[in-house]
Structure 1
Amino acid sequence: MNALRRPSTAVNALLALLIVGAALWGWSLLRDPGETSGASASGTRTVTASKGTVTRTVSADGTVASAATATAAFATAGTVTQIRAKIGQEVAAGALLARVDPTDAQRDLALARANLAAARASLSRAEAAGTGTDNAANAVTEAGIAVDEAEAAVAGTRLVAPMAGTVVAVNGTLGGTSAVTSGKDTSAGFVDLADLKRLQITAAFAEADATELKAGQSASIVWNALSNAETTGEVIAVDPVATSTDGVVTYGVTVSLPNPPDGAKPGQTVTVAVVTGNVENAVLVNSAAISTTGNRKSVTVVTGAGRQEIRQVQVGLAGDDSSQITSGLAEGERVVIPTSTTATTGRNDMRGGPPGGGMGGR
């Protein structure tokens, strides 16, 4: 009899387990899909439409640069006889940076002054004789111009700082021959200066992002080499002409740097995120919950009965993490995020709603 009871007890226990399992399975099918961390039995997750700030940013890599630079170049060619400028030295505007041998220039000046004196004497004789005064006057004018040029050549043997700043490069050597620039060409400068107290950011933005940029927009700047270094700036200018490198089109953008962090120097690399759109007190939802078909956008709303309803919505600003809903969805309504997107949006689901946008670049 004991042998007969043992199989019966095992069968009863198995049946009990099957009944409990079936009951749990049925309950999971009927329960509200948003009751447990926003997850449903069908593998979808939900977020709640809320009110907050939607922010859109565009990002690019940039470089720290001086906001004011200058190149000092000799106006007179010659052998370099003195170099006072040293890399890293701060100099005032007009400070002497270097010299070239002035011997030839001084000789030319002495000759020009002698010619001017002779021309003036000739003019005096012509005026006394009452003849040839026009030619003599022209000779005085030409001789005067020659003196002015010779004086400038002598002054050009001294290289002075065109602005206050720090010496960042010395492009010549003692005993070498100085290069002379023509016009506004400063490519052959002898000393390079930069104002290291006035910095800015230069960055190259993709052409699609550059269309959203304009002067006055705020930006966040994060340093790659400086730990926890972050500050804010403002777009100063967007280049009107694009640059194409290996088929990649970018636009140069200059961003102000009014409060650089300690250790900021020209040449350092940064990441720049410019705010191109911002809407406060907006009805918003995680962007992953919005489906697009042609020009139509829709969300799947979970009703009070736990059913799902596809509803067309109008989207205003599409932010970095969330989108503004201008019609079709109310604050507090729950919408479904498809399973394929939960890996990137799970951090929002557990809070029951999407974030307000943030400064993260696209």
Structure 2
Amino acid sequence: MKALRRPSTAVNALLALLIVGAAFWGWTLLKDTDSDTGANASGLRTLTVEQGTVTKTVEADGSVESASTATATFGTAGTVTAIKVKVGDKVTSGQLLARVDDTGAARSLDLAEANLDAAEDALGRAQDAGTDTSSATNEVAQAELAVDEAEAAVAGTKLTAPMAGTVTAVNGTLGGSSSGAEGSGFLDIADLGKLQITAAFSEADATELKEGQAATVTWNALQGAETTGQVVAVDPTATTDDSVVTYGVTVSLPNPPDGAKPGQTVTVSVITGNVENAVLINSAAVTTTGNRHVVTVVGTGNQQETRQVQVGLEGDDAYQITSGLTAGERVVIPTSTTTSSTSNSNNSGPGGFMGGGGGAPPGGR
């Protein structure tokens, strides 16, 4: 019987050791989790003040367009007798694009030239007779002007390309009027090798935009397509649509991705502020009232101190602290923002940083 009891004692001892080991492992795991999330023994959610880069950006939807366009319009009204190009054709400057019936214009030119000949003959007779030539001279000048106008009318029956590029629209039809569609020229041409972006920014964001700022352009239709450009113009006047005020902004596109075409939709993000080597903290930890910014600092023994700080650049997710805090200090996330700040602390964004116990600052991922 003693021999039978001995194995039971050994098994019980082994089970006891396993239970103790599991309890210790669980305690260690919970401790590590608390450390990672910034929770302390009192249940406070905290963040560590970091040193890194604070970035502020503004964003708007935009579209791709050609940076160089032209409209070809007939100089003479008439019925279209020939259209020599179609949408998508590449043309050179001065190339013949279309014609209108030149019968009337040619007849007018013949008549104007005949009138000029007659006026010049009359001037010659007056000069030979030694009489007053002022009237005859005036008639010649008028006849020369009429010839010039008639020649221009004949030339206007031929539509030529004002620039090299690609035909993007044909607004008229064969046998139709030379004026094309109402409010447009007969043909539209664009240089598809020179593209740019136009976007409408809110009035608040537009106040921070100026020429030369860097921009990132992301395509909606081209998966993974992204490129950089610069702000080249901000409209001086606003556009109001349904009480929404926006300002047009033009962004250069020196290196468009493959497949980029006019009319495509994009998202434009412009960097309006950037401070490197800044003392920074997640904006969720800062309570702002008017121009006053305060944080709650956790000291030794979890002692809490309400402290006023000076904020520099207010970045996308982080604030630059110019005075009142030093890197390494811990600050409390107010209870009302715990949910949102917890989300922020697990994601690094422009100007933000990994939160919860002092993760890596921006640029250090």
* Category of TM-score, reference length = shorter chain: 0.7 to 0.9
Amino acid in the other structure paired with 2:80: V
Aligned to 2:22: none
Aligned to 1:64: 64
Aligned to 2:206: 210
| Distance in 2 between residues matched to 1:281 and 1:80, nearest whole Å | 67
Aligned to 2:113: 113
Aligned to 2:17: none
Aligned to 2:103: 103
2:86 is paired with a residue whose SS is coil
Amino acid in the other structure paired with 2:116: L
The alignment status of 1:300 with 2:299, answered yes or no, reads: no
Aligned to 2:343: 344
Amino acid in the other structure paired with 1:179: S
The 5 Å alignment of 1:115-154 reads 115-154=115-154
Aligned to 1:20: none
| Distance in 1 between residues matched to 2:102 and 2:306, nearest whole Å | 87
2:35 is paired with a residue whose SS is coil
The alignment status of 1:229 with 2:230, answered yes or no, reads: no
The alignment status of 1:276 with 2:272, answered yes or no, reads: yes
RMSD: 2.5
Aligned to 2:40: 40
The alignment status of 1:242 with 2:238, answered yes or no, reads: yes
Contact map agreement 1:322 1:356 (CA 8 A) in 2: no
| Distance in 2 between residues matched to 1:308 and 1:60, nearest whole Å | 41
Contact map agreement 1:52 1:356 (CA 8 A) in 2: yes
1:297 is paired with a residue whose SS is strand
Contact map agreement 1:321 1:355 (CA 8 A) in 2: no
TM-score of the two chains, using structure 2 as the length reference = 0.85
Amino acid in the other structure paired with 1:356: P
The alignment status of 1:255 with 2:251, answered yes or no, reads: yes
Amino acid in the other structure paired with 2:45: R
Amino acid in the other structure paired with 1:55: T
Amino acid in the other structure paired with 2:68: A
| Distance in 2 between residues matched to 1:143 and 1:43, nearest whole Å | 99
Question: Taking structure 1 as reference, are residues 312 and 321 closer, same or farther at Cα in structure 2, changes over 3 Å only?
Answer: same
CA shift, 1:310, in A, is: 1.2
TM-score of the two chains, using structure 1 as the length reference = 0.85
Aligned to 2:362: 356
Contact map agreement 1:34 1:46 (CA 8 A) in 2: no
The alignment status of 1:320 with 2:326, answered yes or no, reads: no
CA shift, 1:44, in A, is: 3.4
Amino acid in the other structure paired with 1:176: G
CA shift, 1:188, in A, is: 3.0
Contact map agreement 2:171 2:180 (CA 8 A) in 1: no
| Distance in 2 between residues matched to 1:127 and 1:179, nearest whole Å | 47
CA shift, 1:328, in A, is: 0.4
User: Percentage identity across aligned positions?
Assistant: 66
CA shift, 1:33, in A, is: 12
Question: Taking structure 1 as reference, are residues 126 and 357 closer, same or farther at Cα in structure 2, changes over 3 Å only?
Answer: farther
CA shift, 1:132, in A, is: 2.9
CA shift, 1:342, in A, is: 2.8
Contact map agreement 2:173 2:180 (CA 8 A) in 1: no
Question: Taking structure 1 as reference, are residues 44 and 161 closer, same or farther at Cα in structure 2, changes over 3 Å only?
Answer: farther
| Distance in 2 between residues matched to 1:269 and 1:43, nearest whole Å | 47
| Distance in 2 between residues matched to 1:43 and 1:97, nearest whole Å | 77
CA shift, 1:201, in A, is: 0.4
CA shift, 1:287, in A, is: 1.1
Question: Taking structure 1 as reference, are residues 337 and 313 closer, same or farther at Cα in structure 2, changes over 3 Å only?
Answer: same
Amino acid in the other structure paired with 1:245: D
CA shift, 1:344, in A, is: 3.0
CA shift, 1:263, in A, is: 0.6
Number of residues paired by the alignment?
Answer: 328
Amino acid in the other structure paired with 1:146: A
Contact map agreement 2:48 2:356 (CA 8 A) in 1: no
Offset from partner CA, 1:151-191 (integer Å, 9 cap, x none): 0000000000001110000011111121189xxxx933110
Aligned to 1:86: 86
Question: Taking structure 1 as reference, are residues 294 and 58 closer, same or farther at Cα in structure 2, changes over 3 Å only?
Answer: same
